[in-house]
Every structure is written in C-alpha cells, then in structure tokens.
Amino acid sequence: MSILEPHLKGSLRPDFQWGYATAAAQTEGAWNVDGKGESIWDRLGHTPGITKDLSTADDATRAYDLYKEDVALMKSYGVRAYRFSIAWTRIVPLGGKDDPVNPKGIEFYNNLINELLGTGITPFVTLFHWDTPQTLEERYGGMLNKEKFTADFLRYARVCFEAFGDRVKNWITFNEPGVYSLAGYAAGVHAPRRSSNRDLNPEGDSSTEPFIVSHTELVAHAYCVKMYREEFKPTQKGIIMITLHGNNSEPWDAEDPLDVEAAQRAREFEIGWFGDPVYKTGDYPESMRAQLGDRLPRFTEEESKLVLGSSDFYGMNSYTTFYVRQKKTPPELTDHLGNVEKLDTNSKGVSRGVESDTYWLRTCSWGLRNLLNWIWNRYQVPIFMTENGTTAKGEHVEAPPPETVLNDTHRIEFFNGYLNALASAVKEDGVDIRSYFAWTFTDNWEWQAGYTDRFGVTWIDYKSPERKRYPKKSATVVRELFEHLIAK
C-alpha cells in the first residue's frame, strides 16, 4: 500500500508531470517492419550467444502493434505524461543525412502522439536512446566520427521536429550519453561492443573511445539544440534538454577525507562529465582532466560556447547509491570511475539498501535525496526526473502470474521511499523538480540482459503472441502517491 506522508501532501507543483518512460528498441518490436532499418541493437540481438537469455527484441512487447492498448492502459493508471523514444532507423532507415525518409515511420509516431494527446497524456520524446543506425556504424564508425555523426543526427532531428513538433513540446536529445559510452565502448557489453578486452571484443580501446564518443554526443546535442532554438522553438514553443545518468556516491568512511574526496570525484566522473560542460563551465571537470590528460578530448571555443547552456532543464536518470572508497593504487588506463572502489556496505557495515533482482540495483531513497540536492546545488537548474525504478525478485514465472507477483511489494516499497524522498527534497530542501518518469511502463527487453530483468509496473507474458499485459499493484500505488503529493 502507498505510504502517504501527511506533511508532504501537496508538496509538488500543480503542473508536475508524471508517468512512465520507455525506449523504442526495448518495446516496439517490428524490428524490420514497414521499412524500418537495422540498428546496432538489432545487430547485437541477432549475434548468437550475446544476450543473457539468447533473446532478441524482434517482437519485444509489440508496442508498435499494440500502442492503442498501451495508451488506454496508461490512461487507466492515471498518468499525465509518457516518455518514449523514436527509433532513428524507423524514420531514416539508413540513418544518413542524404538517405531517404520512411513515411511509414512518420505515420506510426504521428498515430502514437495523436493517441496520447487524445487521451490527455503529454508526450515527452527522446530522439536518441542508444539505437544508432547500423549503417552509420559501418560507414564511418558511428560516434567515433564527430563531424559525420553530427551531420547525420541533425538531419534526423530536423525531420522529427518538422513532423511532430507542432504537437510535441518536450524534447530530449540524448538519453544517458555516459552509459552508452561506458557500456558500449569501455565494458564492451552493449552495442556496438567495442573495448580493449580482446576476449570479449575484437576491436576498441577502452582508454580513449568512451571519451571520444561522449564528446561526440555532447557536441551533436549542442548543435541540435541550437537548430531547435533558432528554427523551431519560435513557432513550436517547446522545451529541449539532455538526460544524464548518475547514481549517488557516498564515502565508504565518512570520517576519512580521502573517501569524502573520492565520493565527490566519483560524482564528477559520472555526472559532472556531462553536467559541467552543459550547465556549469562549458568544459569537463578538473578532476577528470587531472587523471585522464589528453585522453579526454578538448572542446573548441565554439563548441564550448554552444554546449554551455544547451539544455533548458536538467534531465536526470538515477536508480541507486554506492559507497565508494579511495583506491590505494594509481588509476589504470581503463579506469572511468575516478580511481574509486564501489562497495555495498560502508566502513561501519551499513548496507546501501535492500537487494533487487538486478545485481547493481539496491533501494536507497535517502541517497536519491542527497543526489537531488547535490545536482541542484551544483547546477541550479530545474530538474526533470526522467527515469527511476527497480526490478523485484521472483517475477520470472509462468503466466498467469500469481497474486504474489502482481502484488509487487518490493517495487511498492521502492516507490514509496523514492517518491517521498523526492517530495522531501522539494518541500524541505527547496530543490526545483518538475517531473518524474518511472522506469518502466511494462516489463521489456532490457538490452544485453534480454528479458531477464523485469522493471515494469505491468507484467508481460512473453510466451503469448499478444504479449498479454497484467497490471501490478505498484501502478496503483504510484498513482495514489502522486494524487497525494501534487498540489491541487
């Protein structure tokens, strides 16, 4: 059941936007239908032995076919907004600036947007949620080529602004650019699967490529925002931002200055990496430059001016908290964390939180409040929380799922804690927060983990042709919490 704290009633602004977030590659399916081209995630899914459960997203949750059913279900959940991404290769199948546009792709997203607006749900649209066109990867190495990628991305974004901007007023350029870089080019487990680990990846350099790719993302984002503000915003009146990932870091030993410094550095490596160029200085944090030297690209003067201030709001994805400890050895070339060690308990044996069904994710609502304050104090930009959620143990069962699965107590406790922490940050700490999008609407294809991670407030029967949906109790609880927390 929802925990409605009396002192937090009405603490969120009346126009607070809340709902659920999804990504095209994880939900739509129809991977090669109606003219859609191949993305790097289509290629990865079809590479034998790569995903944890050997699955593909060929059908995913069939959101492409079932979007009307999904919108009706969201409406029954009481949401005000829905954050989804557009599949680049559904709009421009080959991806490039001179490649043809696919009218069927335009038609699908027009239909989805109109369906949402017709039921009173506000669309928040992400242009890039990790699904680079495979053709661009093959033509010039994708994001490793800043100039060519930026030109291709700007053309794709222009098509979207022209086709949908009369109705879409909330745009996100890139989702979690750092996760895309680290998982795809440092660890090499996500598409396009590049790293220095030759046992895992035939190509890549974990010491340089993640920073090159992230630089490309920041520059392409900034030019995209410039285009939108100059050519579309005057008539369309929308907002545009970037969404950054970032889990909270706390010192392993709060009384050790080295660990306190390590926690700050960890936040700068994870969050300041993108947040500082966009919201603070137009450049990377000094702690990153000190460790990485010339392996960290440098902005030209023009790029720095463009990047700084290039997001109307702070888009924030966050899930958990880690304790971090200063390493006793010098940083390795492949270190991307700030030479820290991540731990589940602190020096006094206190756990960072209750385990979920995902190894890295533990419930830590106080950590979210700390992080909201850190971001607000550092950047002083209103925050749109665009992802937050959890898996729960015991949800991998046969259909129909038993009541114990649909009454998803772990997820309910997670949302109770995190939403009350968010409201406390607003009411008691003065943090300006404008939205909350839970991850996620339905269980879906969780990238390299396949269907082994269930994050949804809706349980999916993957064995049924229609991907039958079963609402979980958490969907009701989230609605009750926001009815209590949002001012009338």
3-state secondary structure of 379: helix
Tokens of 264: 């700050």
Q: How far apart are CA 20 and CA 442, in angstroms?
A: 9
Q: How many domains does the chain have?
A: 1
**C-alpha–C-alpha distance, residues 455 and 478, integer Å:** 14
Residue 27 covered by a domain: yes
pLDDT in the model for residue 315: 98
The catalytic residue among 28, 38, 137, 176 is 176
Instruction: Please indicate whether residue 301 is annotated as part of the active site.
Output: no
For every one of its 488 residues, what pLDDT tens digit does the chain have, with 9 covering 90 and above? 899 999 999 999 999 999 999 999 999 999 999 999 999 999 999 999 999 999 999 999 999 999 999 999 999 999 999 999 999 999 999 999 999 999 999 999 999 999 999 999 999 999 999 999 999 999 999 999 999 999 999 999 999 999 999 999 999 999 999 999 999 999 999 999 999 999 999 999 999 999 999 999 999 999 999 999 999 999 999 999 999 999 999 999 999 999 999 999 999 999 999 999 999 999 999 999 999 999 999 999 999 999 999 999 999 999 999 999 999 999 999 999 999 999 999 999 999 999 999 999 999 999 999 999 999 999 999 999 999 999 999 999 999 999 999 999 999 999 999 999 999 999 999 999 999 999 999 999 999 999 999 999 999 999 999 999 999 999 999 999 999 999 99
Residue 379 lies in a domain: yes
Position 186 in a domain: yes
Options 268, 303, 387, 395, the catalytic residue? 387
**3-state helix, strand and coil shares in percent for the chain, rounded to the nearest 5:** 40, 15, 40
Task: Determine contact, residues 322/247, Cβ cutoff 8 Å.
Answer: yes
pTM of the model: 0.98
Cβ-proximal residues to 293 (8 Å cutoff; 6+ apart), any chain:
none
CATH number of the domain to which 369 belongs: 3.20.20.80
Residue 1 lies in a domain: no
Q: Going by DSSP bridges, is the β-strand pair 239-245/170-175 parallel, antiparallel, or unpaired?
A: parallel
Range of the domain at 392: 6-485
**Has residue 247 been placed in a domain?**
yes
What's the chain look like in SS3?
A: CCCCCHHHCCCECCCCEEEEECCHHHHCCCCCCCCCCCEHHHHHHCCCCCCCCCCCCCCCCCCCCCHHHHHHHHHHHCCCEEEEECCHHHHCCCCCCCCCCCHHHHHHHHHHHHHHHHCCCEEEEEEECCCCEHHHHHHHCHHHCHHHHHHHHHHHHHHHHHHHCCCCCEEEEEECHHHHHHHHHHCCCCCCCCCCCCCCCCCCCCCCHHHHHHHHHHHHHHHHHHHHHHHHHHHHCCEEEEEEECCEEEECCCCCHHHHHHHHHHHHHHHHHHHHHHHHCCCCCHHHHHHHHHHCCCCCHHHHHHHCCCCCCEEEECCCEEEEEECCCCCCCCCCCCCEEEECECCCCCECCEECCCCCCEECHHHHHHHHHHHHHHHCCCEEEEECCCCCCCCCCCCCCCHHHHCCHHHHHHHHHHHHHHHHHHHCCCCCEEEEEECCCCCCCCHHHCCCCCCCCEEECCCCCCCCEEECHHHHHHHHHHHHHECC
pLDDT of 347 reads 98
387 is an active site residue:
yes
